[in-house]
Structure formats: C-alpha cells, structure tokens
Amino acid sequence: MPARQRRYFLKDKETKALLTKITEKLKLNTEQLFEDKTNFEIVEVDFGDVFLVNGKPLMFKTGQEVYPTLAFEKFLTMAPRVVVDMGAIPYVCKGANIMAPGIRRLEGEFGKGDIVLIVDEKHGKTLALGESLQSSEEAKNIKQGPIIKNLHFVSDKVWSYIKQFIN
C-alpha cells in the first residue's frame, strides 16, 4: 500500500479533458470504452495517479501520460496484440522491453507510438501493455532489437495497487 494516498472525484471539465486525452492516446472513441454515465475518481499515490471509472481502476497517469491498466477489459479486447514466446515471460514481467527475437506473431495493425497488449503464446494471458517503437508492418521485418517499450506489466507498482479493486 502506498504511503501517500488522496482520493476525489473529477469535475465535468476535468473529465472531458481526460476523455479527450484517452481518445488521442488509444485511438479509440471513448463511447466504445465507457458507458454513458461514468464517474471518474482519481486516486493520487506515490507512483502517479490511478483513475477509477465507476469504481474500477481502468487508467493510470505517470508524468503527463495516461495509459490503460491491465484491468481495463474492454480496452484489452480491442487492442492489437503482440504474442511472445514462453521464454520472454519472466523478462516481460520484470519490466523488460519486448525484443524482436521473442515475438511469435502480431495480431492487429498498429502504428509507431500506439498502445499494444503483450500476451503469452501458450495461454494468451495478458502480461503487459506497451508502446510500439515501430509500426506493425515495420516490426514484421525486424529481426533484432526492441519492438515494444514496456509501460505496465503484471507485478509492477500499478498492478500491485489496483489488485485491491479487482474482484
């Protein structure tokens, strides 16, 4: 549990600004992701801010950037996927970037800077969310080096904090 914690609801104006930022970052219409009536609550913690949407930890902010959490199921079903081999799992779950040799396949199209989901090849389990360093077309032809920057992974500070809100 973080040492510092402050929790409050966002005002309508702040909510609109946040939704605009989310739309730009995820390249998805927020109407696809959220219900008509949503309550945005912010929890300020040591490592950043966690956004609770109708009580669920769906987004987090670090620095000036807002990202989805691994608990944002609706986004996870829509996001492009990078499937990694089983040998990459321990590294990805410790925060390592996703390297070309560990990628088995790409599912869906994405551009440079897009948010992608990292899953294992055997069970399809979500391991992390990352930001693509190349487009999916470029990534298919790269044989070495990093392809995805790891942003949020199982066992990081955000994951450890949001587990208390997940059933």
Instruction: Report if residue 104 sits inside a domain.
Output: yes
- Give the pLDDT mean for 74-97: 96
What is the dihedral sign for C-alpha 91, 96, 100, 105? positive
**Domain end marker among 74, 101, 128:** 74
Which pLDDT belongs to residue 4? 67
Which pLDDT belongs to residue 2? 57
80 with 69, same domain?
no
- Give the pLDDT mean for 87-101: 97
Longest distance between any two alpha carbons in the chain, whole Å: 47
106 with 70, same domain?
no
Burial class (CB in 10 A: 0-12, 13-18, 19+), 67: buried
Spatial strand order in the sheet of 81-84: 98-99, 146-153, 126-132, 115-120, 81-84, 103-107
68 with 97, same domain?
no
Instruction: Report if residue 59 sits inside a domain.
Output: yes
For the segment 21-52, what is each residue's pLDDT rounded down to a tens digit? 888 888 887 777 777 677 899 999 999 999 99
% of the chain surpassing 70 pLDDT = 96
109 with 142, same domain?
yes
Which residue range forms the structural domain that includes residue 36? 5-74
pLDDT at 19 over 90: no
Instruction: Report if residue 166 sits inside a domain.
Output: no
51 with 104, same domain?
no
Instruction: Report if residue 160 sits inside a domain.
Output: no
